[in-house]
A and B are shown apart, each in its own frame.
Chain A
Amino acid sequence: MNNIKKNRWKDQAFKFWGIFCTLLGLVLLAIFIGSIIVDGVQRIDWDFLTSLPSRKADRAGIYTALMGSVWVLVLTTIIALPVGIAAAIYLEEYAKKNRLSSLLEVNISNLAGVPSIIYGLLGLEIFVRIMQMGASVLAGSFTLALLILPIVIVSTREAIKAVPKSIRDASFALGASKWQTVSRQLLPASFGGILTGVILALSRAVGETAPLIVIGALTYVPFAPKSPMDEFSVLPIQIFNWISRPQHGFEVNAAAAIIILLLITFMMNGIAVYFRNKWQRKLK
Protein backbone atom coordinates (compact mmCIF):
# COMPACT_ATOMS: atom_id res chain seq x y z
CA MET A 1 0.00 0.00 0.00
CA ASN A 2 2.79 2.32 0.97
CA ASN A 3 4.56 1.50 -2.26
CA ILE A 4 1.54 2.34 -4.38
CA LYS A 5 1.17 5.70 -2.67
CA LYS A 6 4.81 6.46 -3.26
CA ASN A 7 4.50 5.63 -6.95
CA ARG A 8 1.39 7.77 -7.30
CA TRP A 9 3.19 10.64 -5.63
CA LYS A 10 6.20 10.30 -7.95
CA ASP A 11 3.84 10.22 -10.89
CA GLN A 12 2.20 13.48 -9.85
CA ALA A 13 5.57 15.09 -9.14
CA PHE A 14 6.81 14.27 -12.63
CA LYS A 15 3.64 15.66 -14.14
CA PHE A 16 4.28 19.04 -12.53
CA TRP A 17 7.95 18.90 -13.48
CA GLY A 18 6.86 18.28 -17.10
CA ILE A 19 4.51 21.27 -17.06
CA PHE A 20 7.28 23.38 -15.51
CA CYS A 21 9.79 22.40 -18.24
CA THR A 22 7.28 22.97 -21.03
CA LEU A 23 6.54 26.45 -19.82
CA LEU A 24 10.15 27.30 -18.85
CA GLY A 25 11.44 28.10 -22.32
CA LEU A 26 8.29 29.95 -23.32
CA VAL A 27 8.22 31.99 -20.10
CA LEU A 28 11.89 32.93 -20.53
CA LEU A 29 11.18 33.97 -24.12
CA ALA A 30 8.22 36.04 -22.94
CA ILE A 31 10.31 37.73 -20.22
CA PHE A 32 12.95 38.54 -22.78
CA ILE A 33 10.59 39.92 -25.39
CA GLY A 34 8.91 41.92 -22.63
CA SER A 35 12.18 43.45 -21.49
CA ILE A 36 13.15 44.29 -25.08
CA ILE A 37 9.82 45.98 -25.71
CA VAL A 38 10.27 48.02 -22.54
CA ASP A 39 13.78 49.00 -23.65
CA GLY A 40 13.18 49.68 -27.29
CA VAL A 41 9.59 50.47 -28.12
CA GLN A 42 9.77 54.19 -27.38
CA ARG A 43 12.64 54.44 -29.84
CA ILE A 44 10.58 53.16 -32.76
CA ASP A 45 9.06 55.86 -34.92
CA TRP A 46 8.96 56.70 -38.60
CA ASP A 47 12.37 58.41 -38.38
CA PHE A 48 13.96 55.25 -36.94
CA LEU A 49 12.77 53.26 -39.96
CA THR A 50 13.78 55.84 -42.56
CA SER A 51 17.02 57.34 -41.18
CA LEU A 52 20.49 56.45 -42.35
CA PRO A 53 22.96 55.01 -39.83
CA SER A 54 24.82 57.54 -37.74
CA ARG A 55 27.53 57.83 -35.13
CA LYS A 56 25.02 59.51 -32.86
CA ALA A 57 22.75 56.89 -31.33
CA ASP A 58 19.63 59.06 -31.16
CA ARG A 59 19.81 60.01 -34.83
CA ALA A 60 20.68 56.59 -36.25
CA GLY A 61 18.08 54.59 -38.15
CA ILE A 62 17.76 51.19 -39.77
CA TYR A 63 16.82 52.26 -43.31
CA THR A 64 19.92 50.91 -45.08
CA ALA A 65 19.91 47.65 -43.12
CA LEU A 66 16.19 47.12 -43.72
CA MET A 67 16.57 47.74 -47.46
CA GLY A 68 19.58 45.40 -47.46
CA SER A 69 17.48 42.67 -45.85
CA VAL A 70 14.70 43.15 -48.43
CA TRP A 71 17.17 42.97 -51.33
CA VAL A 72 18.82 39.83 -49.94
CA LEU A 73 15.45 38.20 -49.25
CA VAL A 74 14.13 38.78 -52.78
CA LEU A 75 17.31 37.60 -54.51
CA THR A 76 17.68 34.57 -52.21
CA THR A 77 14.11 33.54 -53.07
CA ILE A 78 14.74 33.91 -56.81
CA ILE A 79 17.88 31.77 -56.59
CA ALA A 80 16.85 29.08 -54.11
CA LEU A 81 13.22 28.51 -55.08
CA PRO A 82 13.52 27.01 -58.61
CA VAL A 83 16.54 24.87 -57.76
CA GLY A 84 15.06 23.62 -54.49
CA ILE A 85 11.68 22.72 -55.93
CA ALA A 86 13.23 21.08 -59.01
CA ALA A 87 15.56 18.98 -56.85
CA ALA A 88 12.65 17.93 -54.64
CA ILE A 89 10.52 16.94 -57.65
CA TYR A 90 13.41 14.86 -58.98
CA LEU A 91 13.96 13.05 -55.68
CA GLU A 92 10.28 12.43 -55.02
CA GLU A 93 8.92 11.59 -58.50
CA TYR A 94 11.79 10.65 -60.82
CA ALA A 95 14.63 9.13 -58.82
CA LYS A 96 14.87 5.35 -58.81
CA LYS A 97 16.04 3.58 -55.71
CA ASN A 98 19.72 3.29 -56.50
CA ARG A 99 23.07 4.43 -55.20
CA LEU A 100 22.75 7.89 -56.71
CA SER A 101 19.45 8.59 -54.97
CA SER A 102 20.70 7.33 -51.61
CA LEU A 103 23.82 9.49 -52.02
CA LEU A 104 21.57 12.49 -52.66
CA GLU A 105 19.52 11.64 -49.56
CA VAL A 106 22.51 11.37 -47.23
CA ASN A 107 24.01 14.48 -48.72
CA ILE A 108 20.94 16.68 -48.25
CA SER A 109 20.47 15.47 -44.70
CA ASN A 110 24.11 16.32 -44.02
CA LEU A 111 23.90 19.75 -45.64
CA ALA A 112 20.98 20.63 -43.39
CA GLY A 113 23.30 20.08 -40.42
CA VAL A 114 26.28 22.10 -41.68
CA PRO A 115 26.76 25.16 -39.43
CA SER A 116 25.72 28.38 -41.16
CA ILE A 117 29.15 29.94 -40.71
CA ILE A 118 30.66 27.22 -42.94
CA TYR A 119 28.37 28.41 -45.75
CA GLY A 120 29.87 31.82 -45.13
CA LEU A 121 33.38 30.46 -45.73
CA LEU A 122 32.15 28.75 -48.91
CA GLY A 123 30.52 31.96 -50.14
CA LEU A 124 33.61 34.01 -49.30
CA GLU A 125 35.85 31.82 -51.43
CA ILE A 126 33.51 30.95 -54.32
CA PHE A 127 31.29 33.98 -54.83
CA VAL A 128 33.29 36.85 -53.33
CA ARG A 129 36.80 35.82 -54.48
CA ILE A 130 36.68 33.37 -57.39
CA MET A 131 33.56 34.75 -59.12
CA GLN A 132 34.64 38.25 -58.11
CA MET A 133 31.25 39.43 -56.95
CA GLY A 134 32.85 41.21 -54.01
CA ALA A 135 30.93 41.63 -50.77
CA SER A 136 27.79 42.43 -52.79
CA VAL A 137 24.09 41.80 -52.27
CA LEU A 138 24.35 39.12 -54.95
CA ALA A 139 27.17 37.24 -53.20
CA GLY A 140 25.21 37.38 -49.92
CA SER A 141 22.06 36.13 -51.61
CA PHE A 142 23.85 33.22 -53.28
CA THR A 143 25.37 32.26 -49.92
CA LEU A 144 22.01 32.33 -48.13
CA ALA A 145 20.35 30.51 -51.04
CA LEU A 146 22.76 27.60 -50.60
CA LEU A 147 22.08 27.71 -46.86
CA ILE A 148 18.30 27.39 -47.19
CA LEU A 149 18.34 24.99 -50.15
CA PRO A 150 18.22 21.81 -47.98
CA ILE A 151 15.27 23.22 -46.01
CA VAL A 152 13.37 24.08 -49.20
CA ILE A 153 14.06 20.62 -50.66
CA VAL A 154 13.00 18.71 -47.54
CA SER A 155 9.75 20.62 -47.05
CA THR A 156 8.85 20.51 -50.75
CA ARG A 157 9.37 16.75 -50.79
CA GLU A 158 7.07 16.36 -47.83
CA ALA A 159 4.41 18.47 -49.51
CA ILE A 160 4.61 16.44 -52.74
CA LYS A 161 4.61 13.18 -50.77
CA ALA A 162 1.37 14.20 -49.06
CA VAL A 163 -0.54 14.32 -52.36
CA PRO A 164 -2.66 11.12 -52.55
CA LYS A 165 -1.44 8.48 -55.00
CA SER A 166 -4.89 8.30 -56.59
CA ILE A 167 -4.31 11.73 -58.18
CA ARG A 168 -1.15 10.45 -59.90
CA ASP A 169 -2.89 7.27 -61.06
CA ALA A 170 -5.86 9.22 -62.41
CA SER A 171 -3.59 11.57 -64.31
CA PHE A 172 -1.56 8.76 -65.87
CA ALA A 173 -4.74 6.86 -66.72
CA LEU A 174 -5.91 9.83 -68.77
CA GLY A 175 -2.71 9.59 -70.78
CA ALA A 176 -0.76 12.42 -69.18
CA SER A 177 3.02 12.25 -69.33
CA LYS A 178 5.14 12.37 -66.18
CA TRP A 179 5.88 16.06 -66.45
CA GLN A 180 2.24 16.87 -67.23
CA THR A 181 1.26 14.99 -64.09
CA VAL A 182 3.85 16.85 -62.04
CA SER A 183 3.18 20.31 -63.39
CA ARG A 184 -0.62 20.18 -63.69
CA GLN A 185 -1.58 17.92 -60.79
CA LEU A 186 1.11 17.51 -58.16
CA LEU A 187 2.46 21.06 -58.00
CA PRO A 188 -0.96 22.76 -57.72
CA ALA A 189 -2.06 20.17 -55.14
CA SER A 190 1.04 20.61 -53.00
CA PHE A 191 1.30 24.37 -53.48
CA GLY A 192 0.19 25.23 -49.91
CA GLY A 193 2.73 22.87 -48.38
CA ILE A 194 5.56 24.13 -50.57
CA LEU A 195 4.67 27.73 -49.74
CA THR A 196 4.78 26.96 -46.01
CA GLY A 197 8.24 25.42 -46.28
CA VAL A 198 9.57 28.25 -48.40
CA ILE A 199 8.33 30.95 -46.04
CA LEU A 200 9.86 29.12 -43.05
CA ALA A 201 13.17 28.82 -44.91
CA LEU A 202 13.11 32.53 -45.74
CA SER A 203 12.34 33.48 -42.16
CA ARG A 204 15.52 31.60 -41.27
CA ALA A 205 17.42 33.56 -43.94
CA VAL A 206 16.17 36.91 -42.62
CA GLY A 207 17.69 36.22 -39.19
CA GLU A 208 21.04 34.87 -40.43
CA THR A 209 24.00 36.95 -39.35
CA ALA A 210 27.19 34.90 -39.25
CA PRO A 211 27.53 33.80 -42.91
CA LEU A 212 26.96 37.36 -44.12
CA ILE A 213 29.58 38.73 -41.73
CA VAL A 214 32.01 36.14 -43.07
CA ILE A 215 31.47 37.08 -46.72
CA GLY A 216 32.22 40.66 -45.71
CA ALA A 217 28.84 42.39 -45.48
CA LEU A 218 29.41 45.78 -43.91
CA THR A 219 28.49 46.81 -40.42
CA TYR A 220 28.25 50.42 -41.59
CA VAL A 221 26.82 51.38 -44.98
CA PRO A 222 25.92 54.97 -45.70
CA PHE A 223 23.44 54.17 -48.50
CA ALA A 224 20.85 51.56 -49.28
CA PRO A 225 21.83 49.18 -52.13
CA LYS A 226 20.58 50.19 -55.58
CA SER A 227 21.73 47.17 -57.57
CA PRO A 228 22.67 43.54 -56.84
CA MET A 229 26.35 44.45 -57.09
CA ASP A 230 26.24 47.09 -54.33
CA GLU A 231 27.66 46.63 -50.87
CA PHE A 232 25.09 46.06 -48.18
CA SER A 233 24.24 45.43 -44.57
CA VAL A 234 21.26 43.55 -43.15
CA LEU A 235 19.11 44.04 -40.07
CA PRO A 236 20.78 41.34 -37.88
CA ILE A 237 24.25 42.74 -38.67
CA GLN A 238 23.09 46.25 -37.77
CA ILE A 239 21.82 44.86 -34.46
CA PHE A 240 25.12 43.04 -33.85
CA ASN A 241 27.01 46.25 -34.57
CA TRP A 242 24.92 48.22 -32.08
CA ILE A 243 25.23 45.51 -29.42
CA SER A 244 29.02 45.65 -29.62
CA ARG A 245 29.12 49.40 -28.84
CA PRO A 246 29.49 50.49 -25.23
CA GLN A 247 27.14 53.54 -25.17
CA HIS A 248 23.70 52.94 -23.70
CA GLY A 249 21.98 54.75 -26.58
CA PHE A 250 23.05 52.05 -28.99
CA GLU A 251 21.71 49.33 -26.70
CA VAL A 252 18.32 51.03 -26.94
CA ASN A 253 18.71 51.14 -30.73
CA ALA A 254 19.58 47.44 -30.75
CA ALA A 255 16.44 46.65 -28.73
CA ALA A 256 14.30 48.71 -31.10
CA ALA A 257 15.81 47.02 -34.18
CA ILE A 258 15.28 43.61 -32.54
CA ILE A 259 11.57 44.41 -32.16
CA ILE A 260 11.38 45.07 -35.92
CA LEU A 261 13.35 41.89 -36.73
CA LEU A 262 11.17 39.76 -34.42
CA LEU A 263 8.03 41.26 -35.94
CA ILE A 264 9.23 40.21 -39.39
CA THR A 265 10.26 36.69 -38.25
CA PHE A 266 7.11 35.99 -36.25
CA MET A 267 4.91 37.37 -39.01
CA MET A 268 6.53 35.03 -41.54
CA ASN A 269 6.14 32.09 -39.16
CA GLY A 270 2.50 33.02 -38.56
CA ILE A 271 1.77 33.21 -42.28
CA ALA A 272 3.48 29.84 -42.78
CA VAL A 273 1.42 28.17 -40.06
CA TYR A 274 -1.77 29.72 -41.50
CA PHE A 275 -1.05 28.33 -44.98
CA ARG A 276 -0.14 24.95 -43.52
CA ASN A 277 -3.42 24.62 -41.62
CA LYS A 278 -5.46 25.79 -44.59
CA TRP A 279 -3.66 23.42 -46.95
CA GLN A 280 -3.88 20.42 -44.64
CA ARG A 281 -7.62 20.88 -44.32
CA LYS A 282 -7.98 21.09 -48.10
CA LEU A 283 -5.93 17.92 -48.60
CA LYS A 284 -8.25 15.95 -46.33
Chain B
Amino acid sequence: MRRIKELVIEKALLTSALITVAITAGIILVLSFEAFAFFREVSIVDFFTDTEWTPLFSNKHYGILPLLSGTLLTSFIAVAFAVPVGLSISIYISEYAPRSFRTSIKPALELLAAVPTVVYGFFALTVVTPFLQSFIPGLSGFNALSAGLVMGIMIIPFVSSLSEDALHAVPDSLREASFGMGSTKLQNAFRVMVPAASSGIVVSVILAISRAIGETMIVAIAAGQQPRLTLDPTVPVETITAYIVQVSLGDVQHGSLEYRTIFAAGITLFVFTFLLNTVSYRIRKKFQEKYE
Protein backbone atom coordinates (compact mmCIF):
# COMPACT_ATOMS: atom_id res chain seq x y z
CA MET B 1 0.00 0.00 0.00
CA ARG B 2 2.73 2.39 1.02
CA ARG B 3 4.68 1.46 -2.13
CA ILE B 4 1.74 2.42 -4.33
CA LYS B 5 1.27 5.72 -2.51
CA GLU B 6 4.94 6.57 -2.93
CA LEU B 7 4.79 5.71 -6.62
CA VAL B 8 1.68 7.82 -7.22
CA ILE B 9 3.29 10.79 -5.47
CA GLU B 10 6.47 10.45 -7.49
CA LYS B 11 4.47 10.38 -10.74
CA ALA B 12 2.49 13.45 -9.68
CA LEU B 13 5.70 15.34 -8.94
CA LEU B 14 7.14 14.24 -12.28
CA THR B 15 4.01 15.49 -14.05
CA SER B 16 4.47 18.91 -12.46
CA ALA B 17 8.05 19.01 -13.70
CA LEU B 18 6.92 17.97 -17.18
CA ILE B 19 4.48 20.91 -17.29
CA THR B 20 7.52 23.15 -17.81
CA VAL B 21 8.38 21.19 -20.95
CA ALA B 22 4.78 21.54 -22.08
CA ILE B 23 5.06 25.33 -21.68
CA THR B 24 8.07 25.49 -23.97
CA ALA B 25 6.39 23.17 -26.46
CA GLY B 26 3.25 25.33 -26.23
CA ILE B 27 5.19 28.52 -26.94
CA ILE B 28 6.95 27.00 -29.94
CA LEU B 29 3.76 25.44 -31.33
CA VAL B 30 1.60 28.53 -30.91
CA LEU B 31 4.19 30.87 -32.38
CA SER B 32 5.08 28.65 -35.33
CA PHE B 33 1.45 27.74 -36.09
CA GLU B 34 0.34 31.37 -36.36
CA ALA B 35 3.58 32.48 -38.00
CA PHE B 36 3.22 29.66 -40.55
CA ALA B 37 -0.25 30.93 -41.44
CA PHE B 38 1.26 34.42 -41.74
CA PHE B 39 4.00 33.27 -44.12
CA ARG B 40 1.45 31.62 -46.41
CA GLU B 41 0.25 35.11 -47.25
CA VAL B 42 3.46 37.11 -46.92
CA SER B 43 6.65 35.89 -48.55
CA ILE B 44 9.45 35.23 -46.10
CA VAL B 45 11.88 37.05 -48.41
CA ASP B 46 9.78 40.23 -48.20
CA PHE B 47 9.59 39.79 -44.44
CA PHE B 48 13.36 39.97 -44.10
CA THR B 49 14.19 42.43 -46.90
CA ASP B 50 11.32 44.93 -47.15
CA THR B 51 12.35 48.13 -45.37
CA GLU B 52 8.86 49.17 -44.34
CA TRP B 53 6.52 47.80 -41.68
CA THR B 54 3.00 49.17 -42.18
CA PRO B 55 0.49 46.34 -41.52
CA LEU B 56 -1.97 48.74 -39.91
CA PHE B 57 -2.10 51.14 -42.88
CA SER B 58 -3.93 50.76 -46.18
CA ASN B 59 -0.66 50.47 -48.11
CA LYS B 60 0.61 47.36 -46.36
CA HIS B 61 4.27 46.39 -46.11
CA TYR B 62 5.54 43.52 -43.98
CA GLY B 63 9.26 44.09 -43.56
CA ILE B 64 10.54 43.25 -40.05
CA LEU B 65 13.76 45.27 -40.51
CA PRO B 66 12.43 48.57 -39.05
CA LEU B 67 11.18 46.76 -35.92
CA LEU B 68 14.45 44.84 -35.70
CA SER B 69 16.52 48.02 -36.02
CA GLY B 70 14.41 49.70 -33.32
CA THR B 71 14.89 46.70 -31.02
CA LEU B 72 18.64 46.50 -31.63
CA LEU B 73 19.13 50.26 -31.29
CA THR B 74 17.40 50.58 -27.90
CA SER B 75 19.07 47.37 -26.67
CA PHE B 76 22.48 48.56 -27.83
CA ILE B 77 22.12 51.85 -25.94
CA ALA B 78 20.98 50.00 -22.83
CA VAL B 79 23.81 47.47 -22.94
CA ALA B 80 26.45 50.10 -23.81
CA PHE B 81 25.39 51.94 -20.66
CA ALA B 82 24.81 49.01 -18.31
CA VAL B 83 27.85 46.84 -19.07
CA PRO B 84 30.67 49.32 -18.20
CA VAL B 85 28.75 50.57 -15.15
CA GLY B 86 27.69 47.08 -14.00
CA LEU B 87 31.17 45.66 -14.50
CA SER B 88 32.80 48.53 -12.59
CA ILE B 89 30.33 47.95 -9.75
CA SER B 90 31.14 44.24 -9.63
CA ILE B 91 34.90 44.89 -9.58
CA TYR B 92 34.52 47.56 -6.92
CA ILE B 93 32.36 45.35 -4.70
CA SER B 94 34.52 42.24 -5.00
CA GLU B 95 38.01 43.80 -4.99
CA TYR B 96 37.80 47.16 -3.20
CA ALA B 97 34.81 47.43 -0.89
CA PRO B 98 34.81 46.07 2.66
CA ARG B 99 33.13 42.63 3.00
CA SER B 100 30.21 44.00 4.99
CA PHE B 101 29.43 46.42 2.15
CA ARG B 102 28.85 43.48 -0.18
CA THR B 103 26.00 42.01 1.83
CA SER B 104 24.14 45.30 2.10
CA ILE B 105 24.71 46.78 -1.36
CA LYS B 106 23.75 43.74 -3.44
CA PRO B 107 20.10 43.60 -2.29
CA ALA B 108 19.92 47.40 -2.71
CA LEU B 109 21.09 47.14 -6.32
CA GLU B 110 18.65 44.31 -6.97
CA LEU B 111 15.89 46.74 -6.07
CA LEU B 112 16.63 48.37 -9.43
CA ALA B 113 15.43 45.20 -11.14
CA ALA B 114 12.39 44.89 -8.86
CA VAL B 115 10.83 48.18 -9.97
CA PRO B 116 7.99 47.43 -12.44
CA THR B 117 8.95 48.35 -16.00
CA VAL B 118 5.86 50.51 -16.55
CA VAL B 119 7.28 52.74 -13.81
CA TYR B 120 10.61 53.01 -15.64
CA GLY B 121 8.68 53.97 -18.78
CA PHE B 122 7.08 56.87 -16.93
CA PHE B 123 10.52 57.87 -15.67
CA ALA B 124 11.96 57.88 -19.19
CA LEU B 125 9.07 59.86 -20.63
CA THR B 126 8.58 62.49 -17.92
CA VAL B 127 12.06 62.93 -16.39
CA VAL B 128 14.85 61.66 -18.64
CA THR B 129 13.55 62.90 -22.01
CA PRO B 130 12.93 66.50 -20.84
CA PHE B 131 16.34 66.45 -19.13
CA LEU B 132 18.11 65.27 -22.31
CA GLN B 133 16.16 67.78 -24.39
CA SER B 134 17.72 70.58 -22.39
CA PHE B 135 21.08 69.90 -24.02
CA ILE B 136 20.28 67.83 -27.12
CA PRO B 137 18.34 70.19 -29.36
CA GLY B 138 15.96 68.44 -31.74
CA LEU B 139 15.50 65.42 -29.48
CA SER B 140 12.01 64.14 -30.15
CA GLY B 141 9.53 63.61 -27.28
CA PHE B 142 9.68 59.89 -28.05
CA ASN B 143 13.18 58.59 -28.78
CA ALA B 144 15.40 55.54 -28.56
CA LEU B 145 18.06 57.32 -26.48
CA SER B 146 16.02 57.99 -23.38
CA ALA B 147 14.27 54.60 -23.49
CA GLY B 148 17.63 52.86 -23.98
CA LEU B 149 19.34 54.68 -21.11
CA VAL B 150 16.53 53.95 -18.66
CA MET B 151 16.50 50.33 -19.76
CA GLY B 152 20.24 50.40 -19.03
CA ILE B 153 19.56 51.47 -15.44
CA MET B 154 17.13 48.58 -15.11
CA ILE B 155 19.61 45.94 -16.31
CA ILE B 156 22.59 47.20 -14.23
CA PRO B 157 21.88 44.64 -11.48
CA PHE B 158 21.77 41.78 -14.03
CA VAL B 159 25.34 42.61 -15.06
CA SER B 160 26.73 43.59 -11.67
CA SER B 161 25.23 40.74 -9.65
CA LEU B 162 26.23 37.86 -11.93
CA SER B 163 29.67 39.33 -12.67
CA GLU B 164 30.28 39.83 -8.97
CA ASP B 165 29.35 36.20 -8.31
CA ALA B 166 31.85 35.15 -10.97
CA LEU B 167 34.64 37.35 -9.52
CA HIS B 168 33.80 36.11 -6.03
CA ALA B 169 34.16 32.50 -7.18
CA VAL B 170 37.77 32.96 -8.36
CA PRO B 171 40.03 31.13 -5.86
CA ASP B 172 41.81 33.40 -3.38
CA SER B 173 45.16 31.85 -4.28
CA LEU B 174 45.14 33.74 -7.59
CA ARG B 175 44.53 37.00 -5.78
CA GLU B 176 47.28 36.32 -3.25
CA ALA B 177 49.76 35.35 -5.95
CA SER B 178 49.03 38.54 -7.84
CA PHE B 179 49.44 40.74 -4.75
CA GLY B 180 52.58 38.81 -3.88
CA MET B 181 54.05 39.91 -7.18
CA GLY B 182 53.46 43.49 -6.12
CA SER B 183 50.44 44.36 -8.25
CA THR B 184 48.01 47.06 -7.21
CA LYS B 185 44.32 46.23 -6.71
CA LEU B 186 43.58 47.67 -10.13
CA GLN B 187 46.24 45.60 -11.90
CA ASN B 188 45.06 42.53 -10.02
CA ALA B 189 41.45 43.23 -11.00
CA PHE B 190 41.96 43.73 -14.71
CA ARG B 191 44.91 41.42 -15.42
CA VAL B 192 44.04 38.50 -13.13
CA MET B 193 40.48 38.53 -11.80
CA VAL B 194 38.55 39.65 -14.88
CA PRO B 195 40.30 37.17 -17.20
CA ALA B 196 39.80 34.39 -14.64
CA ALA B 197 36.09 35.21 -14.30
CA SER B 198 35.60 36.00 -17.99
CA SER B 199 33.10 33.22 -18.72
CA GLY B 200 30.82 34.36 -15.90
CA ILE B 201 31.11 37.96 -17.03
CA VAL B 202 30.25 36.98 -20.62
CA VAL B 203 27.18 35.13 -19.32
CA SER B 204 26.03 38.23 -17.44
CA VAL B 205 26.43 40.38 -20.55
CA ILE B 206 24.51 37.91 -22.75
CA LEU B 207 21.67 37.72 -20.23
CA ALA B 208 21.56 41.52 -20.10
CA ILE B 209 21.30 41.69 -23.90
CA SER B 210 18.54 39.08 -23.91
CA ARG B 211 16.71 41.01 -21.21
CA ALA B 212 17.00 44.28 -23.15
CA ILE B 213 15.72 42.75 -26.38
CA GLY B 214 12.63 41.35 -24.66
CA GLU B 215 11.87 44.46 -22.59
CA THR B 216 8.49 45.90 -23.47
CA MET B 217 6.90 48.63 -21.42
CA ILE B 218 9.83 51.09 -21.29
CA VAL B 219 10.14 51.17 -25.07
CA ALA B 220 6.38 51.08 -25.65
CA ILE B 221 6.00 54.19 -23.50
CA ALA B 222 9.13 56.21 -24.22
CA ALA B 223 10.52 55.16 -27.62
CA GLY B 224 7.43 55.85 -29.69
CA GLN B 225 5.36 53.72 -32.04
CA GLN B 226 6.76 54.58 -35.44
CA PRO B 227 8.56 51.71 -37.18
CA ARG B 228 11.53 53.30 -38.86
CA LEU B 229 14.71 51.84 -40.31
CA THR B 230 17.26 54.11 -38.67
CA LEU B 231 20.15 54.16 -36.23
CA ASP B 232 19.40 57.74 -35.16
CA PRO B 233 18.74 57.65 -31.41
CA THR B 234 16.94 61.01 -31.33
CA VAL B 235 13.83 60.11 -33.35
CA PRO B 236 10.85 57.89 -32.49
CA VAL B 237 11.29 54.19 -33.33
CA GLU B 238 9.28 51.06 -32.63
CA THR B 239 10.57 47.78 -31.24
CA ILE B 240 9.15 44.30 -31.85
CA THR B 241 7.71 44.24 -28.35
CA ALA B 242 6.19 47.71 -28.62
CA TYR B 243 4.49 46.68 -31.87
CA ILE B 244 2.87 43.68 -30.19
CA VAL B 245 1.56 45.98 -27.45
CA GLN B 246 0.28 48.50 -30.01
CA VAL B 247 -1.71 45.82 -31.87
CA SER B 248 -3.00 44.29 -28.63
CA LEU B 249 -4.42 47.64 -27.52
CA GLY B 250 -6.32 48.06 -30.79
CA ASP B 251 -9.29 46.09 -31.97
CA VAL B 252 -7.76 43.48 -34.24
CA GLN B 253 -9.92 40.60 -35.45
CA HIS B 254 -8.78 37.10 -34.47
CA GLY B 255 -7.53 35.17 -37.49
CA SER B 256 -6.85 38.25 -39.61
CA LEU B 257 -3.46 38.91 -41.12
CA GLU B 258 -2.93 41.84 -38.72
CA TYR B 259 -3.54 39.45 -35.83
CA ARG B 260 -0.94 37.07 -37.21
CA THR B 261 1.70 39.80 -37.56
CA ILE B 262 2.16 39.84 -33.79
CA PHE B 263 3.00 36.13 -33.84
CA ALA B 264 5.42 36.58 -36.74
CA ALA B 265 7.05 39.42 -34.78
CA GLY B 266 6.89 37.29 -31.61
CA ILE B 267 8.64 34.29 -33.13
CA THR B 268 11.45 36.55 -34.38
CA LEU B 269 11.88 37.86 -30.83
CA PHE B 270 11.68 34.35 -29.36
CA VAL B 271 14.36 32.97 -31.71
CA PHE B 272 16.74 35.79 -30.75
CA THR B 273 16.33 35.43 -27.00
CA PHE B 274 16.30 31.61 -27.23
CA LEU B 275 19.69 31.62 -28.98
CA LEU B 276 21.17 34.06 -26.45
CA ASN B 277 19.82 32.09 -23.49
CA THR B 278 21.09 28.78 -24.87
CA VAL B 279 24.57 30.18 -25.46
CA SER B 280 24.72 31.63 -21.94
CA TYR B 281 23.49 28.33 -20.46
CA ARG B 282 26.23 26.41 -22.27
CA ILE B 283 28.93 28.79 -21.07
CA ARG B 284 27.59 28.69 -17.52
CA LYS B 285 27.66 24.86 -17.43
CA LYS B 286 31.26 24.82 -18.59
CA PHE B 287 32.22 27.52 -16.10
CA GLN B 288 30.69 25.63 -13.16
CA GLU B 289 32.78 22.57 -13.96
CA LYS B 290 35.91 24.71 -13.99
CA TYR B 291 35.81 25.76 -10.35
CA GLU B 292 33.79 23.05 -8.57
Q: Which residues of A come within 8 Å of B, CB atoms?
A: 7-8, 10-11, 14-15, 17-19, 21-22, 24-26, 28-29, 31-32, 35-36, 82-84, 86-87, 89-91, 94-95, 103-104, 106-111, 113-122, 125-126, 129, 146, 149-150, 153, 177-179, 203-204, 206-210, 213-214, 216, 219, 236, 239-240, 243-244, 251, 254-255, 258, 261-262, 265-266, 269, 273
Contacts and interface: CB of A to CB of B under 8 A. Distances in A.
Interface of B: 2, 5-6, 9-10, 12-14, 16-21, 23-24, 26-27, 30-31, 34, 85-86, 88-89, 91-93, 96-97, 105, 107-109, 111-112, 114-119, 121-123, 125-127, 153, 156-157, 184-187, 189, 207, 210-211, 213-217, 220-221, 241, 244-245, 248-249, 254, 262-263, 266, 269-270, 273-274, 276-278, 280-281
A251 B97 CA distance: 41
Given A114-B27, A179-B6, A21 B13 contact: no
A13 to B, nearest CB: 8
Contacts of A120: 244, 248
A121 B266 CA distance: 8
A277 B216 CA distance: 33
Contacts of A125: 30, 34
A108 B277 CA distance: 11
A210 B20 contact: no
> What secondary structure prevails in chain B residues at the interface with A?
helix
A116 B14 CA distance: 25
A111 B270 contact: no
Contacts, number: 244
Nearest to A85: B16
Given A89-B13, A94-B14, A265-B116, A11 B184 contact: yes
A269 B114 contact: yes
B270 A213 contact: no
Contact of B266 (A25, A113, A118, A254): A118
18 contacts: A22-B97, A24-B85, A25-B156, A29-B112, A32-B123, A110-B24, A113-B277, A115-B269, A119-B27, A178-B10, A179-B10, A207-B118, A207-B119, A214-B262, A219-B249, A243-B221, A261-B116, A262-B115
A14 B186 contact: yes
Nearest to B86: A21
Contacts of B186: 7, 10-11, 14
